Structure 1
Amino acid sequence: MTLLSDPVLPGFHPDPSICRVGGDYYLVTSTFEWFPGLPVFHSRDLVHWRQAGHALDRPEQLPLDGVPASGGLYAPTLRHHDGTFYLVCTLVDGREWSGHFVMTASDPAGPWSDAHRLDGEGIDPSLFFDDDGRAWCTGTRPTGRYEGHTEIWLREFDPAALALTGDEHVLWDGAVKGAIWSEGSHLYKIGERYFLLTAEGGTAMDHAVMVARADAVTGPYEGNPRNPILTHRNLGTGHPVIGTGHADLVETPDGEWWAVLLAMRPHHGDRCALGRETFLAPVVWEDGWPVTGGHLEASRPTPSPPPHPWPAVPVCDQFDGPELGPSWNMLRTPRERWWSLAERPGHLRLRVRPESLSDVANPSFAGRRQQHHDFAAFTALDFTPADEELAGLALVQNNDFHVLLVLTSMGLRLIKREQGIETVLARGPAVSGPVKLGFEAHGRWYQASYSVEPGVWTPLGDPVDGDILTSQVAGGFTGTYIGLYATSNGRASTNHADFPWFEYTPL
């Protein structure tokens, strides 16, 4: 199998789904509890991508309030038909409601509609528009026959009513004996046959891509005797790319086929703080079946569309725009405006609020994905803390696993939260006036440092073991975020913390 060794979307970008409109490609990924959610990316060559917007960028579209870590938005599918973009997804463990929904837009950059709820059990809905004018929706649900056993169901989709209709058909329950988590299904009609692409084996080391085909959309489906058509389950934890699966297919205008998929790049063993990333792999057809890699011998094949790189994004955000850039995210739905770029121009101001990163809430935290094993991130902080208040940099996996480099009323602190237990790893001096804060990562090790004099940086504590920032230790499905944070830890406060810039640089 030939797989591009570097992700096309590095960092936490799992469950990619892709569609093509003319010479333009659009892609969306899962975001779970993060807001804005469901980022939409645009490419003209399948290799270089830029973010066009988010499908979920208004609090009223869909409620993420109270969703636990790795709850929220699972495995979206993006499709285009008759001038309209459709996005289907599942809200998992929602406090107000849970289940499938569909959103529409005339422009993938937005605005997108509010979420229209759809019937159906389980997760991972996907849409398919047939050439006879009918549309269909597939999804995944557990059967209860044994732990992890699931089946793929199909119902007709009415694009005008944005609703499922008609009878249900069960299409598939896995390619191998004892299969678990047959999910992430996508339907295609290629020639006169229907192809069902699924993920299988769970999203860790045993992840894989399976395919089945049928003469009718409702089946019966026969599995490819060469399944899985893509997996690294046989390569072991020493391979630089593991957990390959959850693919979606796209055809270029000149008839090439490619797959986008998720995979992980561990920093050692199967541990990966970056989370599941989006990769690209070539697809050819043999004996009527898709083959990942096929006859391509080059280790890094190139898609046929001519290269189309986008302008580079600055490594330093000066907070001089009217809104935060698209790389910034928050936890769950913000119900109040606790951040400002206008109150002190050229600064991101965070209100100091009772909510903390330890709560299943919407704290005053704005972060971006860690996208490289080796990176440096720096900021400057202007903050006068009262008792129990703190502000600074945070490395976040979830509410029970994170690392803080913060200024408190007692001075600088490096704090680790692991399995819900907080430990002060190092103490620094009390600081009056602005202070610069930074993390430098090399693989699994994250070194905190601070600066109160121009050009002079002082380490704070020993390097922190970043294994606690991996889903293999912390659980769940997300990758690490690094960002800016302020809290009063449950107390009322009118204070604020100002950040004049934030810089993230791969090393």
Structure 2
Amino acid sequence: MNTFRNPILPGFYPDPSICRVGEDYYLVTSSFEYFPGVPIFHSKDLVNWRQLGHVLDRPSQLDLDGTPTSKGIYAATIRHHRGTFYMITTFVVSATGARRNFYVTAKDPAGPWSDPVWLPDAPGIDPSLFFDDDGKAYVMANRQPPAGQQYPKHMEIWLQELDVENGKLVGDKFSLWDGALKQIHAQEGPHLYKINGMYYLIIAEGGTGFTHSVTIARSETITGPYENCKMNPILTHRHLGRSYPVVNVGHADIVDTPNGEWWMVCLASRPYGGDYRNLGRETFLVPFEWEKGWPVVNPGKGIVELEMRRPELPEKRWASVPACDHFDSAELGMQWNFIRTPRGEFWSLSERPGHLRLKLKPERITDSVNPSFVGRRQQHMDFAARTVMEFTPSSKGETAGLVLLQNPDYQYRMEYGWSEEGSKLSLIQRKAGEEAVLASLPMTASKLYLKVEAIGQAYSFYYATEAEQWLPLVESADGTLLSSDVAGGFIGAYMGMYASSQGEHSSHAADFDWFEYVPL
């Protein structure tokens, strides 16, 4: 049987949204405090995806200064209407601050995308766009019911017309879905569709953790009333137990193919080494069929599987991202991100051609700042990542190296730094904000090779002063602290290159010749 493997986007790619334009499919995911924001992908067969870039790739579009971890850009929706692409999302300013909804537009999904059109009277999170047959546009998102919440996280889904010409909401807000009807919490992630003359509303319920689910309702008119599907939830894994290999399935968007197939993209996670999800929430693909006007997901099974039948579409593979980035290009590869909006000229690919130069900034990666860090997602349970660095620490606080992190308070730092006793290479474990030096040894080398290998939740760190002459620094360190189950939040583990002068001024830099990431 012709099959594919889930997830279609491994690693931290949550809250997928999809649209089709002819025979082309476009998909976006949330990005939280990482910059650039909202990665965008393109596919011809729904299985093989290539990244086109990021929707929010300019500071004028995305100011993440001071944004706490797991805040920033929440779930995004992508839609296409009359030659224009639209991406709408929420910027969560802080843990208790405003939720600010906005959208951007582009003629080419690869960009450039416009600066944000803010919708100040659009409450809640996870906004979506819908364009009706009569040309009218609508925005929907969640909010607390105007009459008040009847239980914790009780939300409703609202709808309001959007004046696209002037970029503002007009008319009344309508309540489409009130969680009081079913006593399920955290109603969010709405998407609206018109299929065979009926309006279908898909939402996420139950929170984005173990009890996550996909539910659906329908109506003959866009403002309702909406009929609840008696088969709800149409997709969840909460009944399968925490040891099932795919958990917290939910937050779906749907698309049809030119030959009449229907598919759903959703988020889910793959726990390993116990109830730990270092890879974060990933993007999965699952088929569904219509029966008596309602969708039946993966008929006969009703769940998302790691191996599934392929769509009946011609296979189209793209050139894969090289395992080793030699930093020979004029721009950083699309797999790389900064933490928050990059401020200052702290990185360069041109000052020393063929190298990524990271200048030492006073900012630390343990604070909610923009540190001198360039990183990428962990995408596999078993992997090896290595780099070579040229750096000579020479004064107090100067350090550079390889970092694996979940957030500012949960991370491993393999640092080459300066101390009063001289330069040394250390592995520092940071857990719940408390640091422990797991290993430290005197080191005098202008060039250092650094490597981490993970087999499940055992992360081993190695170093070398000559190519391929690896020596252990620490083996089998506990990787579970890189999971959101230990660290909290909504993101997956990252790794990358880091340099800091730790509160002091420094004119020095660390040069990285290459960075390699390979699954094992």
With the shorter chain as reference, the TM-score category is: over 0.9
Correspondences of 1:412-491 after superposition (within 5 Å): 412-491=425-504
What secondary structure is seen at the aligned counterpart in 1 of 2:436?
A: strand
Would you say the 8 A contact 1:356–1:363 is kept in 2?
Answer: yes
Q: For residue 310 of structure 2, what is the aligned residue in structure 1?
A: 302
Q: Which of 122, 126, 129 does residue 127 from structure 1 map onto? A: 129
Matched, 1:343 2:355: no
Would you say the 8 A contact 2:256–2:263 is kept in 1?
Answer: yes
How far is the alpha carbon of 1:335 from its aligned partner? 2.2
Would you say the 8 A contact 2:4–2:47 is kept in 1?
Answer: no
Would you say the 8 A contact 1:414–1:427 is kept in 2?
Answer: yes
What secondary structure is seen at the aligned counterpart in 1 of 2:443?
A: coil
Q: Which of 391, 395, 399 does residue 404 from structure 2 map onto? A: 395
How far is the alpha carbon of 1:270 from its aligned partner? 2.4
Would you say the 8 A contact 1:175–1:210 is kept in 2?
Answer: no
1:323-360 CA-to-partner distances (Å, cap 9, x unmatched) read: 10110000111121210000011100001011011111
Amino acid at match of 1:188: Y
What secondary structure is seen at the aligned counterpart in 1 of 2:370?
A: coil
Amino acid at match of 2:59: P
Point out the more displaced range, 476-485 or 115-124.
115-124
Would you say the 8 A contact 1:26–1:41 is kept in 2?
Answer: yes
CA RMSD of aligned residues (A): 1.6
Query: When the two structures are superposed, what TM-score results if normalisation uses the length of structure 2?
Result: 0.95
1:434-473 CA-to-partner distances (Å, cap 9, x unmatched) read: 0100100011111010011232111112322111111111
> Residues of 2 paired with 1:329 and 1:236: CA distance?
34
What secondary structure is seen at the aligned counterpart in 2 of 1:472?
A: helix
Correspondences of 1:184-263 after superposition (within 5 Å): 184-263=189-268
> Residues of 2 paired with 1:162 and 1:290: CA distance?
34
How far is the alpha carbon of 1:269 from its aligned partner? 2.9
What secondary structure is seen at the aligned counterpart in 1 of 2:481?
A: helix
Q: Which of 341, 344, 354 does residue 333 from structure 1 map onto? A: 341
Q: For residue 182 of structure 1, what is the aligned residue in structure 2?
A: 187
Give the 4+ runs in structure 1 shifted more than 6 A: none
Would you say the 8 A contact 2:99–2:124 is kept in 1?
Answer: no
> Residues of 1 paired with 2:59 and 2:236: CA distance?
38
What secondary structure is seen at the aligned counterpart in 1 of 2:141?
A: strand
Q: Which of 359, 364, 389 does residue 367 from structure 2 map onto? A: 359
> Residues of 1 paired with 2:379 and 2:144: CA distance?
33
Would you say the 8 A contact 1:11–1:479 is kept in 2?
Answer: yes
> Residues of 2 paired with 1:138 and 1:445: CA distance?
44
Aligned length: 505
Q: Rate the CA distance shift 1:392–1:219 in 2: closer, same or farther, 3 A.
A: same
Q: For residue 115 of structure 2, what is the aligned residue in structure 1?
A: 114
Query: When the two structures are superposed, what TM-score results if normalisation uses the length of structure 1?
Result: 0.97
Gaps of 5+ in 2: none
What secondary structure is seen at the aligned counterpart in 2 of 1:468?
A: helix
Would you say the 8 A contact 1:4–1:279 is kept in 2?
Answer: no
Would you say the 8 A contact 1:275–1:470 is kept in 2?
Answer: yes
Q: For residue 277 of structure 1, what is the aligned residue in structure 2?
A: 282
What secondary structure is seen at the aligned counterpart in 1 of 2:165?
A: coil
> Residues of 2 paired with 1:281 and 1:444: CA distance?
28
Point out the more displaced range, 468-477 or 8-17.
468-477
How far is the alpha carbon of 1:305 from its aligned partner? 1.4
Q: Which of 295, 307, 317 does residue 325 from structure 2 map onto? A: 317
Would you say the 8 A contact 2:399–2:499 is kept in 1?
Answer: yes
> Residues of 2 paired with 1:69 and 1:117: CA distance?
23
Amino acid at match of 1:301: R
> Residues of 1 paired with 2:252 and 2:4: CA distance?
14
1:152-180 CA-to-partner distances (Å, cap 9, x unmatched) read: 00000122112211100011023873210
Would you say the 8 A contact 2:143–2:157 is kept in 1?
Answer: yes
What secondary structure is seen at the aligned counterpart in 1 of 2:20?
A: strand
Amino acid at match of 1:58: R
> Residues of 2 paired with 1:84 and 1:270: CA distance?
42
Would you say the 8 A contact 2:449–2:467 is kept in 1?
Answer: no
1:234-256 CA-to-partner distances (Å, cap 9, x unmatched) read: 01111111010000000101111
Q: For residue 142 of structure 1, what is the aligned residue in structure 2?
A: 144
